[in-house]
A = this chain, B = another copy of it.
Amino acid sequence: MEIEKYKIEEHNQAASAAHKRAFDYISGEVKNAQAIIDKLAAFQVAIPSWALGTGGTRFGRFPGGGEPRSLEEKIEDIGLLHKLNQSSGAISLHIPWDIPKNASHIKALAAQHGIRFDAMNSNTFQDQPDQQHSYKFGSLQHVKKEVRQQAIDHNIEVINYGRELGSDSLTVWLSDGSCFPGQLNFRQAFQHTLSGLQEIYAALPSDWKMFVEYKAFEPNFYSTTVGDWGQSLLYASKLGPKAYTLVDLGHHHPNVNIEQIVSLLLMEGKLGGFHFNDSKYGDDDLTVGAIKPYQLFLIFNELVEGMDARGMDHATGLGWMIDASHNVKDPLEDLLQSVEAIMISYAQALMVDRKKLQEAQESNDVAAAQEVLQQAFRTDVRALVAEARLRAGGALNPLGVYRAEKVREHLIKERGLKTVATGL
């Protein structure tokens, strides 16, 4: 399945009058419209290979058909998204789900779709059929040296796959932790984990980054060995300059102020990457912006302010990735919605009048500070986002084109109704 360029242009043509109206209006109102459009165009969000299939819960999974059956088909799916929105030009692979049998072939295929290889992800939270030791009681934290070694070796193997493909970062998410009081010696679990991470870190190519992802709970329900930003920062600080904390929006306790964490990690030079999704209860893995769009904006507000303060390039300074799981939507539609929500929040954050905000802060004018933020958030910037897409050769309305071109129906026809992509 491929959407031909002229098809997108046809759809853009049909939508152009409405778009022009909206764009003319908003570009007249927003001072730095052109600069925003340029930054939007440069901003790419990596798609994780496992978000291309229908997700599930322990209670069941309801696949939707036409899911990718191979790494090649995953790349094709992301290529399709990228063709539509010109903002999904990267893929994040998961080993062992995505072991490339022929790396040069895979690289060529990705290049053809304009897709680069973002962070590699290891998996020590599940047992694979041929695996010698079980991760039932953890991986890097495990009381037995041989299990820890197996997990270290696996991560090094993942780095090697990534090297072949041109990735330059490794995301380590450990589900390690405990389900019951007494199960773990917390200090020992920390020390084992640190020592394992150090061995993996030692195997990291010199230009790579390592992202230490934290998560408050699930699948362990009493403690998690990399459980919050404090723990992740502790690991990353002890590891060295190539180690960073990765923030996943769904990995916090209720009510936690994530934007402050983002700001402080940037202050420490230790924010490495971001997993976007949304949630109401826990790691619900819902569509980005579907539940708390203002929080997303506030996070982008800190990202923009904090990266600018350090002179970081927005597009390349951090690893940007979606990490969601789409139980009741077509996964590709969901990803289009997620990327759109990210772009809108980013555009609004770029619109924030920093000078006015700083003045309000310096004079403790809390109401004025709120006005500045809400002025940006309440502005309808969708036409700016669409214009950025248009100029980059994408679709004014990616979801509309996706539906009009009956992409899912085509994929089902090609791949069958019963396909189930690797993932959760």
> Which residues of A does B touch, CB under 8 Å?
21-22, 25, 28-29, 55-60, 62, 125-127, 134-137, 143, 175, 178-188, 190-191, 216-219, 221-223, 227-231, 233-234, 253-257, 259-260, 263-264, 266-268, 279-282, 284, 286-287, 289-295, 298, 301-302, 305-306, 309, 327-330, 333-334, 337, 344, 357-358, 360-364, 366-367, 369-374, 377-380, 382, 399, 424
Distance between Cα atoms of A21 and B62 in the complex (Å):
48
A180 touches B253 (CB 8 A): no
Chain B residue numbers with a CB within 8 Å of A186 are 259-260, 263-264, 267, 302
A267 touches B187 (CB 8 A): yes
Question: Which residues of chain B have C-beta atoms less than 8 A from A279's C-beta?
Answer: 221
Cβ of B267 and Cβ of A399 under 8 Å apart? no
8 Å CB contact of A257 from B58, B222, B292: B222
Name the B residues within 8 Å of A257 (CB-CB).
222-223, 227, 280
- Which of B60, B184, B294 touches A292 (beta carbons < 8 Å)? B294
A375 to chain B, nearest CB (A): 9
Is B291 in contact with A366, judged by CB distance below 8 angstroms?
no
Bound-complex Cα distance A181 to B294 (A): 10
Instruction: Provide the bound-state CA to CA distance between A255 and B55, in Å.
Output: 22
Asked if A179 and B286 make an inter-chain contact with CB atoms under 8 angstroms apart, the answer reads yes
Query: Which residues on B sit within 8 Å (CB–CB) of A221?
Result: 279-281, 284, 286
Q: In the complex the two chains form, is B234's CB within 8 Å of A268's CB? A: yes
Q: Do residues B364 and A181 form an inter-chain contact, with CB atoms below 8 A?
A: no
Name the one of B58, B182, B234 contacting A264, with C-beta atoms under 8 angstroms. B234
> How many copies, total?
4
Contact of A306 among B187, B302, B367, B379 (CB under 8 A): B187
Give the shortest distance, in Å, between A184 (CB) and chain B (any CB): 7
Contacting pair B183 A366 (CB below 8 A): yes
CA distance A224 to B187 in the complex (A): 28
Q: A59-B219, A268-B234 are in contact. Are A180 and B287 (CB under 8 A)?
A: yes
Residue of B nearest to A369 (CB): B182
The distance from the CB of A85 to the nearest CB of chain B, in whole angstroms, is: 15
27 contacts across the A-B interface (CB closer than 8 A): A56-B58, A57-B218, A60-B135, A137-B364, A143-B364, A179-B284, A180-B329, A182-B357, A182-B373, A183-B369, A183-B370, A187-B306, A190-B267, A217-B255, A221-B280, A221-B281, A222-B257, A230-B233, A233-B234, A255-B281, A292-B294, A293-B293, A293-B377, A333-B367, A337-B371, A371-B399, A378-B382
Question: Once bound together, how far apart are the Cα atoms of A231 and B45, in whole Å?
Answer: 29
Chain B residues positioned under 8 Å from A284 (CB to CB): 179, 221
Q: Quick check: B361 and A182 within 8 Å, CB to CB?
A: yes
A255, B228: Cβ atoms under 8 Å?
no
- Say whether, besides A57-B218, A183-B328, A378 and B234 are in contact (CB < 8 Å): no
